[in-house]
């Protein structure tokens, strides 16, 4: 009897230890999943994936429909850039892409659609140049994150050094950050003459600045509108790295670097579609690869650039 009782006690202790290990394992798993979800918003991605899959017509997809884009060029290093690749935009006048760096040797580079470097424009006197947008007729706007400054530059067709001097600029001293979390990206609406400027985080913010080209041409008519409500209601990413305005649909595409997401909003700031950059591009699982810029060209191809120096292109698949 004593032997049987001893065996029973040993079994009960073993069962308790086994249950305790299971509880600890479950708690650790939940902790890991919780941490991952707080970064990648997987719970919201799942919710919107269900909406995208079953909530819209299989024949007619709204807007740009980001899930339809698949990678063509993956992780191509840009020649002559080792680190700090940041924003990207499309120069529709010369049918080329323009990318910018935010550290080391600051520069704008002109690229073809496959990521080959065509021209270089070293930047002198600039600081922490995070984003850029093409505005037409050779004009680009460059964001400097620290003081939330937008500088308007006339870009020559061929390579040349661009020195900061008497160029027109606009500083938006709203919610200035003390920890380098200011204006991260910018995009331009050529029809409505509007800039959309994003603040990275703490808090995430989106501003619309109207009348920019008109003001630069001598007719002052700047109108600043806070569109942060659009971000709060529709963007499930931890931060904002860049934006692209699509003139064909009037929609915005916002890029989250930390969550590695693209999110499409309509003209009223409502959610339309999203794409996880982790889908089909294993490089983005690396903590060393950080998507920083997004744009599209006139043919509907989508481009992403990532730190340290990587170029990606996507096209819509049937």
Residues 306 and 219 in one domain: yes
Entry field: residues in the chain: 318
Residues 118 and 238 in one domain: yes
Distance CA 117, CA 107 (A): 12
Q: Please give the structure tokens belonging to residue 200.
A: 């990275």
Residues 234 and 306 in one domain: yes
CATH of the domain at 250: 2.120.10.30
Question: What is the biggest distance separating any 2 CA atoms in the chain, rounded to whole angstroms?
Answer: 101
Structural Rg of the chain based on CA atoms: 24
Number of independent structural domains in the chain: 2
Q: Which residues pair with residue 271 across a beta bridge?
A: 265
Q: Report the pLDDT value the prediction gives residue 28, as an integer from 0 to 100.
A: 52
Is the Cα torsion angle 171, 174, 179, 183 positive or negative in sign?
negative
Distance CA 190, CA 199 (A): 21
| Cα–Cα–Cα angle for 226, 229, 235, rounded to 5 degrees | 120
Residues 24 and 91 in one domain: no
Q: Report the pLDDT value the prediction gives residue 26, as an integer from 0 to 100.
A: 47
In a domain, 46, yes or no: no
Q: Please give the structure tokens belonging to residue 11.
A: 């079994």
In a domain, 52, yes or no: no
The boundaries of the domain holding residue 187 are: 61-316
Residues 74 and 29 in one domain: no
Residues 11 and 132 in one domain: no
DSSP 116: -
Q: At 188, which helix (H) or strand (E)?
A: strand 183-189
Residues 155 and 249 in one domain: yes
Distance CA 277, CA 37 (A): 15
Distance CA 196, CA 247 (A): 13
Q: Report the pLDDT value the prediction gives residue 201, as an integer from 0 to 100.
A: 86
Contact 247, 191 (CB under 8 A): yes
Whole-model pTM: value is: 0.84
In a domain, 55, yes or no: no
Distance CA 34, CA 28 (A): 10
Residues 9 and 118 in one domain: no
Single out the residue of 40, 42, 49, 61 nearest to residue 251, CA to CA: 61
Q: Report the pLDDT value the prediction gives residue 308, as an integer from 0 to 100.
A: 97
Residues 91 and 21 in one domain: no
Single out the residue of 80, 85, 74 nearest to residue 309, CA to CA: 85
In a domain, 54, yes or no: no
Q: Report the pLDDT value the prediction gives residue 32, as an integer from 0 to 100.
A: 46
Per-residue pLDDT of the chain (318 residues; tens, 9 = 90+): 455 555 455 556 656 665 656 555 545 544 544 544 444 445 555 555 555 555 555 555 679 999 999 999 999 999 999 999 999 999 999 999 999 999 889 999 999 999 999 999 999 999 999 999 999 999 999 999 888 999 999 999 999 999 998 899 999 877 776 666 789 999 999 999 999 999 998 899 999 999 999 999 999 999 999 999 999 999 999 999 999 999 999 999 999 999 999 999 999 999 999 999 998 888 888 989 999 999 999 999 999 999 999 999 999 987
Contact 255, 304 (CB under 8 A): yes
Residues 116 and 203 in one domain: yes
Residues 172 and 225 in one domain: yes
Q: Report the pLDDT value the prediction gives residue 173, as an integer from 0 to 100.
A: 79
Tracing tokens 């909406």 back to the chain, one arrives at 51
In a domain, 136, yes or no: yes
Give the three-state DSSP class for 120. Answer: strand
Distance CA 246, CA 118 (A): 25
Single out the residue of 301, 229, 302, 237 nearest to residue 263, CA to CA: 237
Residues 260 and 211 in one domain: yes
Q: Report the pLDDT value the prediction gives residue 33, as an integer from 0 to 100.
A: 46
Orientation of helix 42-54 relative to helix 2-40, angle to 10° = 70
Single out the residue of 200, 164, 169 nearest to residue 182, CA to CA: 200
């Amino acid at each position: 009897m004593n032997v049987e009782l001893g065996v029973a006690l040993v079994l009960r202790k073993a069962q308790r230890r086994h249950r305790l290990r299971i509880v600890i394992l479950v708690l650790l798993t939940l902790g890991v999943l919780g941490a991952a979800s707080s970064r990648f918003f997987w719970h919201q991605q799942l919710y919107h994936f269900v909406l995208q899959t079953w909530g819209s017509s299989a024949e007619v997809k709204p807007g740009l429909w980001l899930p339809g884009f698949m990678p063509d060029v993956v992780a191509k290093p840009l020649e002559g850039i080792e680190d700090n690749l940041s924003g990207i935009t499309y120069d529709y006048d010369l049918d080329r892409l323009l990318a910018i760096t935010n550290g080391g040797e600051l520069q704008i580079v002109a690229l073809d659609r496959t990521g080959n470097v065509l021209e270089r424009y070293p930047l002198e006197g600039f600081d922490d140049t995070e984003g850029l947008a093409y505005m037409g007729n050779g004009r680009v706007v460059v964001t400097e994150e620290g003081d939330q400054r937008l500088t308007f530059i006339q870009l020559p067709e061929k390579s040349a050094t661009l020195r900061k001097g008497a160029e027109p600029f606009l500083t938006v001293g709203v919610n200035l950050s003390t920890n380098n979390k200011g204006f991260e990206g910018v995009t331009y609406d050529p029809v409505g003459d509007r800039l959309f400027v994003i603040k990275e985080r703490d808090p995430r913010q989106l501003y619309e600045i109207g009348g920019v080209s008109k003001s630069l041409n001598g007719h002052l008519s700047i109108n600043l509108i806070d569109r942060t409500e659009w971000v709060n209601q529709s963007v499930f990413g931890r931060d904002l790295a860049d934006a692209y305005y699509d003139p064909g649909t009037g929609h915005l595409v916002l890029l989250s670097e930390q969550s590695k997401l693209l999110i499409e909003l309509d003209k009223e700031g409502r959610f339309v579609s999203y794409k996880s950059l982790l889908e089909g591009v294993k490089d983005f699982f690396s903590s060393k690869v950080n998507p920083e810029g997004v744009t599209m060209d006139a043919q509907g191809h989508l481009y992403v650039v990532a730190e340290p120096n990587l170029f990606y292109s996507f096209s819509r698949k049937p």
